[in-house]
Structure 1
Amino acid sequence: MKQIKPPKKPLVYYYGVTLVIILLLNSFIFPAIFNHSVKEVDYGTFLTMVEKGKVKQVEIEDNTIMFKPVDTKEAKEFKTGKIDDPKLVDRLHKANVKFTKVIPKETSPLINFILTWILPFLIFIAIGQWLMKKMQNKMMGGGGPMSFGKSKAKVYVETETGITFKDVAGQDEAKEALQEIVDFLHNPKKYKEIGANIPKGALLVGPPGTGKTLLAKAVAGESKVPFFSMSGSEFVEMFVGMGAARVRDLFKQAQEKAPCIVFIDEIDAIGKSRNSGIAGGNDEREQTLNQLLTEMDGFDADKGIVILAATNRPETLDKALLRPGRFDRRVPVELPDLTGRESILIVHATKVKLADDVNFNVIARATSGASGADLANIINEAALRAVRLGRSKVVQNDLEESVEVVIAGYQRKNAVISMKDKLTISYHEIGHALVAAKQSHSAPVHKITIIPRTSGALGYTMQVDEHETVLMTKEQALDKITTYMGGRAAEEIIFKTVTSGASNDIEQATKIARAMVTRFGMSDEFDMMALETVNNPYLGGDSSLIVSAETASKVDSEILKIIKSCHQKAIQILEDNKDKLHELTKYLLEKETISGEEFMSILGKQA
């Protein structure tokens, strides 16, 4: 349903509201504030107070009599209505009260006109101008109409950031590529003497959370130069031409503060290929990109202005942006390897109190494929868990539990699961673990649990490789699929039925089988024929087939053949080890969570 926004109220409405507020304040609030110490009494009370000597001073006005008492506890000043009393003067004189007649001052007609007409009009104009300015700020992002083309870049100096390459772990290759830029900003003379030109720009490319922005700040911190930071989306505005104006202003500021570093985060917001726009059109984003290309051609890198940009969608960037002379250097910032993950964990753990037995290598091996941001989150979750449990230091168990929190979510301790479902889940998870343990190309079982998690998992089996692997053989891929089939196979053998618990297993197994056929060339039917391309490799790796409908049907048949073969293999493994399946399930049902060592100990025992 289309949302209908209420119409904006005219400026006259705000003027009217302001006028009503002023009248209410003038009628009720201001008199109460300024006259809070004046008490009104009747004329008889006034005469009684005069006779008893309780009045100190009297001011007689045209319609009222104001008088101050000797004792000011009750009120500082009183007033009463004036009555025709010829004896009042004698009474005041007899009581030794000071009294005077207040003569009203004649107000100039000009002043009267100014106060009555001109001043309210000026107040109205001032309020109107203020309201207009507030509305302009909301529409234009602050600063009024003259700030349309102003850059919103944040400028950091060395004392404010304090980030250096020591704060960036697990990205040694990227740091090495950027070190040359730092060296140039420190010693430009040695590069000029040999005739070398420093790259005008460096493009940091990698998945989200790998530390691209942190690397850019570290370059500025190492160079000790001003650091301009701006997101690509901040250039694009609803007003045509504003993005291009902001690009011009950004480079103008950079030239004034050279040497400096300009960092554009998420540059794909303005740097997308121009053939992806409206046919024959020249929209705001294209104007902004054209201006960026012009500015990068126009400045001299020898002045010490270095452009850094980050993106996780490099395939969408315009070719003109990537040619030499603009972004000369492409710096991959990939997911960290085992050593890198361990280094990142150590860096983030420097601010956390740790127990002596903490082993980061175990955590690093359990977090294959995790980004730097994921690892930082794991350390923080471990610290929060330690506080929750009343400990003053983070122990190994906190870190291991935080890995599971990041992977599968928090434990659902209050979840009510029937004993029948619990038994099914236990057989399902032991089926996975048993199939994995009986294959030669599977990672060792690290942990098995049937405690449900907030991610929706009713249980899971965690496998951790002993060594980091960068390649996957055909045998390993088939063993992975077979392990995924183990849970469903156990349900079929024991309960002679199937449940919905294997939905995620089926999805993951199908993905691997499809990749084997379409991308890895692990199918006898298609040999080394490319059947699909990967889009957005850093953002999930969505793929699309590049074959005819007839070939696509054959691809599906080949994938089904692999899955069926692995399914039958899983059933056979469990049939051959049925006694151990029952024994391990009984133990898991009792303990709810068991370690890989406990699992292998029971599996290795002789019947």
Structure 2
Amino acid sequence: MKEIKPPKKSLMFYYTIVLLIMLLFNTFVVPAIMNASISEVDYGTFLSMVDKGSVKTVEIQETKILYTAPDAQGKDAVYMTGRMDDTGLVDRLYARGVSFSKVIPQEASPIMSFLLTWILPIGLFLYLGQKLSGKLNQGGMGNAMSFGKSNAKVYVEAQTGKTFADVAGQDEAKDALREIVDFLHDPKKYSDIGANIPKGALLVGPPGTGKTLLAKAVAGESKVPFFSISGSEFVEMFVGMGAARVRDLFKQAQEKAPCIVFIDEIDTIGKRRDSGGIGGNDEREQTLNQLLSEMDGFSADKGVVILAATNRPETLDKALLRPGRFDRRIPVELPDLAGREAILKVHAKKIKLDSGVDFNVIARATSGASGADLANIINEGALRAVKLGRKTVIQEDLEESVEVVIAGYQRKNAVISMKDKLTISYHEIGHALVAAMQKDSAPVHKITIIPRTSGALGYTMQIDDVEKVLLTKEQALDKITTYMGGRAAEELIFGTVTSGASNDIEMATKIARAMVTRYGMSETFDMMALETMVNPYLGGDTQLMVSADTAAKVDQEILAIIKSCHIRAKEILEENKQKLHDLTKFLLEKETITGEEFMEMLAA
């Protein structure tokens, strides 16, 4: 989209700036230059030079005397001395034949003096004050003094504008928004049948999934002006400023209708209001009330469509979500396998790729990644290709960029003792061996003991052959058992445990808790809901909805699941102890092995 630029300043503005610069130059710079070429002497030296006959001309002013005389090099120079009450000076100059004159100051006109002393400064002050006030009203001096003017950026149709072709992996969201585009193109066919287009559409989803991009694409497809503003720009330190900005935004939108107004992070101003009326944010509530009023005050037939985005829909006020305001809620979820592959291809259009690049492999390795994550992976792969002196991006660059996003950069200079390396190798092979011996585990893709900047001393990467949208109880137990494989290998080989399993313990506990509290995979609690998701799009925080006694029983059930999986992991490794030794030796030598190499040695 092309942003509308503010109008250029008038010539009067530039004339004023030039005039001020000239006044300052004449007042300070010119006198300084002139005074720099004049030598100041005392009155006695002046009389001595007169008596010697070296003074050529004298100019007597009201408070000083300027005269010319040869300097040390014999060149004429200008000298200055203070004027004294010397009645014999004129006779002395006349006797020495010096040419002299006296400057008589002229009295300034009273009218001119009044104009220069009072009228001109006051007029200049009022002019500058008016200009500064205009700037303040336009928001040019900061948000705190933007008196009622919205900071909405206005974009218009451009040849390089965003369209639905630039959005991949969100086919359902695009289908839901195409109806709005069609209405903005041809509103008459909707009004003829008596249908009302939704006033507003709320884009809901995790960060980085393309909500803002979708809004811009709607404007680009519709070829109408696009107002974009963040919810935080409405909230000001002065009470009432947010409401004034809402009024100004909708006023501008109705003037440019048909158009689209996009409010990003609307949860900033749209949070649920305090029911008790105590301790609330009056400014935030006034802004929300004004937004509700404005959305009721115009008809969708005018061609103004409101789009908003949030990743915290559960915090929004119910009045904002009722029909007649945000009529339509459009999920913008994390992309599936086909969506991730399509997104990778969109972001790779400007990248020079090797013919052997397989985006399907990268898409399968990035389950749960957002569109922003995938764009970052493509960029990291291109940066790696440049760093290694290649002209094109190869498959290895993209696979390494996936690992950079997941685990951080390689710590090539990290010093790790051979004993610790051996422990890490057994730990990672323990994960891989347990995973390979279970039928419901994802295939092993890569094993490495090269430490990463995220703190990982090594890791085992598994990639499913197909996208899985459901998790069975058997798959969940196999995941937990695989996490237990590293600690089980340490116990089996060294007879001790290390801190290397801390992340495994955390991940295994999360799965076990979800099995009991949310998935209904516990025989003790059956299908009883024990926990609720508080924020599904930002971290997935949960909250227990049970008594203290039930919570203790939940912990016992989780512990029983983890213990059984731990025992199962030990049994698998005990049965394949020789393979554990052989594979560990191979990993210790190479530091990184592929899934194919691992499976070949396992089958040998």
Report the TM-score range of the alignment, normalised by the length of the smaller protein: 0.7 to 0.9
Unaligned runs of 5+ in 1: 1-24
Shift of 1:47: 6.5
Equivalent residue number for residue 315 of structure 1: 314
CA distance in 1, matches of 2:194, 2:119: 71
The DSSP-based 3-state class of the residue aligned with 1:356 is: coil
State the 1:448 CA deviation.
1.0
Deviation (angstroms), 1:397: 1.4
Secondary structure of the structure 1 residue equivalent to 2:414: coil
Partner of 2:250 in structure 1?
251
1:32 counterpart residue number: 32
For structure 2, the residue ranges without an aligned partner over 5 or more in a row are 1-24
Which whole-Å CA distance do the structure 2 matches of 1:212 and 1:189 have between them?
A: 28
- Asked if the contact 2:143–2:236 (Cα under 8 Å) also holds between the matched residues in 1, the reply is no
Which is further off, 411-420 or 562-571? Answer: 411-420
Quote the residue 1:511 is aligned against: 510
Distance of 1:377 and 1:532 partners within structure 2: 34
Q: In 2, Cα distance between the equivalents of 1:275 and 1:311?
A: 20
Q: State the Cα deviation string for residues 277-299 of structure 1 (Å, max 9, x = none).
A: 74496822222222212211211
Residue 176 of structure 1 corresponds to which residue in structure 2?
A: 175
Q: 2:431 is matched with which residue? A: 432
* Residue 343 (structure 1) aligned with residue 342 (structure 2): yes
- Secondary structure, aligned partner of 1:151: coil
Q: Tell me if the contact between 1:161 and 1:221 (Cα under 8 Å) persists in the aligned partners.
A: no
Partner of 1:478: 477
Task: Check the 8 A contact 1:38/1:76 in 2, yes or no.
Answer: no
Q: Which letter maps to 1:290? A: N
After superposition, residues 40-119 of structure 1 pair within 5 angstroms as: 40=40, 43=46, 59-62=59-62, 64-66=64-66, 78-81=78-81, 84=89, 86=91, 88-89=93-94, 100-107=101-108, 118=118
Alignment root-mean-square deviation, CA: 3.5
Partner in structure 2 of residue 290 of structure 1: 289
If the length of structure 1 is used for normalisation, what is the TM-score?
A: 0.85
Q: Deviations over 1:315-343 (max 9, x none)?
A: 22222221221111111101011111111
1:66 Cα shift?
A: 3.7
Contact 1:136 1:144 in 2 (8 A): no
What residue is the counterpart of 2:17 in the other structure?
Answer: none
- Does the Cα contact within 8 Å between 2:70 and 2:76 map onto a contact in 1? no
TM superposition shift of 1:120: 11
1:309, distance to aligned residue in structure 2 (A): 0.7
Counterpart amino acid of 2:38? V
Contact 2:93-2:100 within 8 A present in 1 as well:
no
Give the partner amino acid of 1:170.
G
Q: Does 1:417 align with 2:416?
A: yes
2:463 counterpart letter in structure 1 = V
Map 1:97-176 to 2 at 5 A. 100-107=101-108, 118=118, 142=142, 147-159=146-158, 162-176=161-175
* Structure 1 residue 189 displacement after superposition: 1.5
Match runs of 1:165-314 below 5 Å:
165-275=164-274, 278-279=277-278, 283-314=282-313
Seq. identity, %: 73
Deviation at 1:144, TM superposition (A): 8.3
Task: Please state how far the C-alpha of 1:348 moved relative to its aligned partner.
Answer: 0.9
Matches of 2:426 and 2:261 in 1, distance apart? 57
Report what 1:581 is aligned to: 580
Matched, 1:459 2:462: no
- For 2:304 and 2:166, how far apart are their aligned partners in 1? 24
Shift of 1:534: 0.8
CA shift, 1:122, in A, is 5.2
Whole-angstrom CA distance in 2 between matches of 1:69 and 1:360: 90
| Aligned CA distance change for structure 1 residues 140 and 353 (closer, same or farther; 3 Å) | closer
Distance in 2 (alpha carbons) for counterparts of 1:136 and 1:45: 64
> What secondary structure sits across from 1:481 in the alignment?
helix
Q: Is the 8 A contact 2:170 2:335 kept in 1?
A: yes
CA contact (8 A) 2:136 2:147 kept: no
| CA–CA distance in structure 2, aligned partners of residues 429 and 312 of structure 1 | 36
Pair 1:259–1:109, CA change in 2 (3 A): closer
Separation in structure 2 between the aligned mates of residue 48 and residue 412 of structure 1, nearest angstrom = 89
Task: Give the Cα separation in 2 of the matches to 1:102 and 1:306.
Answer: 78
Q: In 2, are the aligned partners of 1:37 and 1:75 still within 8 Å (CA)?
A: no
SS in 1 for 2:413: coil
Change (3 A) 1:158 1:91: farther
Match of 1:358 in 2: 357
Q: Which residue number in structure 2 is paired with residue 487 of structure 1?
A: 486
Measured against aligned partners, the alpha-carbon deviations of 1:520-576 in whole angstroms (never above 9, x if no partner) come to: 111111111111111111111111111222222111111111100100111111111
- 8 Å contact from structure 1 (residues 64, 79) kept in 2: no
Tell me: CA distance 1:227–1:172, structure 2 relative to 1, closer, same or farther (3 Å).
same
SS at match of 1:199: coil
Q: Which amino acid aligns with 2:568?
A: K
Q: What amino acid is the match of 2:80? A: T
Partner amino acid, structure 1, of 2:396: N
Map of 1:376 onto structure 2? 375
In the aligned structure 2, how far is the partner of 1:305 from the partner of 1:138?
23
> Is 1:439–1:479's contact at 8 Å kept on the other side of the alignment?
yes
Verify the 8 A CA contact 1:140 1:148 in the aligned structure 2.
no
C-alpha contact 1:315 1:536 (8 A) present in aligned 2: yes
Rate the CA distance shift 1:123–1:411 in 2: closer, same or farther, 3 A: farther
**CA-to-aligned-CA distance 1:401-420 (integer Å, 9 cap, x gap):** 11111111111222221221
